[in-house]
Chains A and B, each alone.
Chain A
């Protein structure tokens, strides 16, 4: 009897569990904070929260979400998204003073999405996707429409697994005018499995995070290989947040910093749902012997990695190791400079760029981009993507690229001219940068006069031109060995690397602010009246001449006024009219 009940229960359990023998798809969370002192004395803090889910979102009807946020999972399955990258940034990463960024984002909001090839109407899916993301992140992404969306052909190749790369499945849009604030941080934090209650996300307090020179929060979703054999696909969600603290304003002039000084919080525990929770502090210095920095509490281990062509040393604090919180309940990482006048040596970034607008007046102008290759002996190509709004009419016959005084012809140009009020200009070029050189790219444009309703409420502020994107495989000075993505820190596996001799870099230039000529906004009725008056003058004159004929004038008796005047004249004794 008991055996039969046990058998029935066992049968029920077997039948009850969904998916038969396999359990629900496994998911894991890794969180990481990287603190890197920058050459200029500032401090960059990069948070990364990576949820990995071994599930095929597109095939199975998934309803049970654990670590992977449901909002994003439903989005991926409904709109057949293959990759999604959304970033909201405030400020500009100064590559020349701060060094090469791990992951730069353009000022404002940037969204680029690869769709699956089974999507029939990519534009419709894009529009709906941007509207939904606008709701999820409380950002005005609903302003993304055909006038600021482009389809790049060479840049923005997929960062995850990809077997088909038809670039018509890619859409890219930037909203340079978008402002990031607490309203955008809160829904971003809500997507984290532990929220902001435990783990590294405890440090994410808005009043400190927005008191920074650079604040960038991003969401990256991409498919990755489940294991080395790559037979099945997992979904990876990375939420990154990069802030650059200005130590002058934070530290009141002193360049020593600590977690408490920056975030006004300390870390007390790791997120219970995380399989890995680490803090990395960059303590590499030019000479290994005399260390310029001192980190307290003493790190339990030190990790060496070759990142972006440089060999770096990191102090590692593993929040999951029980020995970390033995001494004190909270972890407050502190960094002290041995001597106040020390500073990190600035190693010039190999690739950096700047862009500006020149010209005077409101009729024409010129966009100039300067790209610097500071590598001493290696030349490498760079793909430049420029998106210019339609109201700045580019003239591609004025495009001039010069390097070291000589003309430099790009080996690949893709130019899609703008259509008024429908799509922007798209210019993509593959330019070879010789070693140790500056390349200047100039193109002239004309400013259009828009209809009065197309101006923003503050028209004299100007119109933004989205930053241009430079993508390059920069040759590295040292040989980098490929590490396993699961074992290495998250910040080293952002971009897929194919070989150890170069690393991928995507840089953004400054956004531009351009003034357009404005009509007088108070005048619509006046203008209509005056112009119609001129047309009526023509109509009236011609009507008279066409419908009337000449006649000899008959003398008339005179009107009432003349008779009255004659009466008065008779009274005065003056001859009548």
Chain B
């Protein structure tokens, strides 16, 4: 299995290297879909230049990266292309190993449930076999590496790639079962972009499952483990934040990074829903709607945790998707991360209802983004509404994709426990509805 992965990595690296040397590199780094005010490479260079001039990078409103990025690129600025290619490779390898391990867990669990007779009798075609699961890790890694979104993100040198690497390592550590490493990587991921805070719940559920601790609110073991994990997470977060303080000897980075993410002052267009909404917002309601939009990212966690407590990795996938869609400055790099997980649910294909139209919507929208941007900004023959419309469509497409996968997942679970060929009381074929 390692050989195809290495081959895939080589192909991916070659594609990126070719694009770096071509004239497309400049064009791609300017694209607002790929580079947002939070993770554009131009702003990293600007922050380092300000530091050279003796001005704090956080004194203006151009630089919104964490001090970790300053520290990293202070030494590695000449090798930036290599750094981004390596991060992509690391993400792919981490996802590969994580999915490999996860498949083993899934298979073991399936075997256990079959022996316990939890499954209905006629669900033989829904049972997953090692044969079909064999190539999934490779598919996941290749889905990430060769996704045009990821390639563009890497060529534009957007620091979203670094965030993805940290999240991938967090997923690997969680699936391997290491509490400490999982907490540390989650802390780094939260420190980098704040929204991975919501991934605490799925990680906790998975680790509990792995330790065979049942999730009962009255159980002492549950609370013990939860507080242990939470304490590790919070301590590492505090340590990282304090280390950042000592880098520039000021707390300026907190309003500049986290205040910026939460209050959305910069209205540069991107593929998300926030920018045009706040550009057209009545000033009186601006604070109210900022709060509403930010709460929207965080409030699906608890209901999803209740519904999906037996399936934490699917919960993780849905949560990652919600973060990518509703975060304040999304880019295609964030979309690429959750799309890498789609091969993991390829067994749900038969239950997906709208996959064809949704994939068409996503592809067409991705192609129309640069066209309508050009018409608005350069040709002057369209206006901002055109670009906004494509943003809306793209986000609706993503939302329906995730809910479609969610529906298919729940439906398969129903069939597994109730049987595939359902009949009504009078013997005719039954329809399944969500009621």
Contacts and interface: CB of A to CB of B under 8 A. Distances in A.
A274 to B, nearest CB: 51
Interface of A: 360-364, 390, 393, 395-397, 413, 415-421, 425, 448-453, 517-520, 523-524, 527-528, 530-531, 534-535, 537-538, 541-542, 544-546, 548-555
B296 A535 contact: yes
A523 to B, nearest CB: 6
Contacts of B322: 538
A451 B395 contact: no
Given A448-B268, A449-B268, A519-B276, A524 B281 contact: yes
Contacts of A535: 273, 293, 296, 326
Closest 4 CB pairs of A and B: A417-B60, A397-B49, A541-B403, A361-B378
A553 B432 contact: yes
A534 B392 contact: yes
B275 A553 contact: no
B36 to A, nearest CB: 12
Interface string B156-182: 000000000000000000000000000
Contact of A551 (B267, B277, B396, B432): B432
User: Interface extent on B, as a size class?
Assistant: 35 or more
Contact of A545 (B265, B266, B279, B410): B410
A523 B276 CA distance: 10
Taking chain B's interface residues, is the majority helix, strand, or loop, or is none over half, making it mixed?
A: helix
Most chain A CB within 10 A, of B378, B396, B403, is at B403
B269 interface: yes
Most chain A CB within 10 A, of B267, B278, B306, B414, is at B267
Contacts of A416: 55, 59-60
A421 B424 contact: no
A164 B147 CA distance: 63
17 contacts: A393-B62, A395-B42, A397-B48, A415-B55, A416-B55, A417-B50, A425-B60, A448-B267, A450-B267, A518-B383, A518-B384, A527-B276, A527-B280, A527-B388, A534-B396, A550-B411, A551-B432
A518 B387 CA distance: 12
Interface string B386-430: 001000100110011001001100110010000000101000001
A244 to B, nearest CB: 37
Taking chain A's interface residues, is the majority helix, strand, or loop, or is none over half, making it mixed?
A: mixed
A418 to B, nearest CB: 6
A567 B201 CA distance: 57
Contact of A420 (B265, B304, B422): B265
A396 B49 contact: yes
Interface of B: 30, 42, 45-46, 48-50, 53, 55, 59-62, 265-269, 273, 275-283, 293, 296, 300, 303-304, 306-307, 322, 325-326, 376-378, 380, 383-385, 388, 392, 395-396, 399-400, 403, 406-407, 410-411, 414, 422, 424, 430-435
A519 B434 contact: no
Given A541-B403, A542-B300, A548-B434, A418 B60 contact: yes
A520 B406 CA distance: 36
Given A524-B280, A527-B280, A548-B435, A413 B53 contact: yes
B378 A449 contact: no
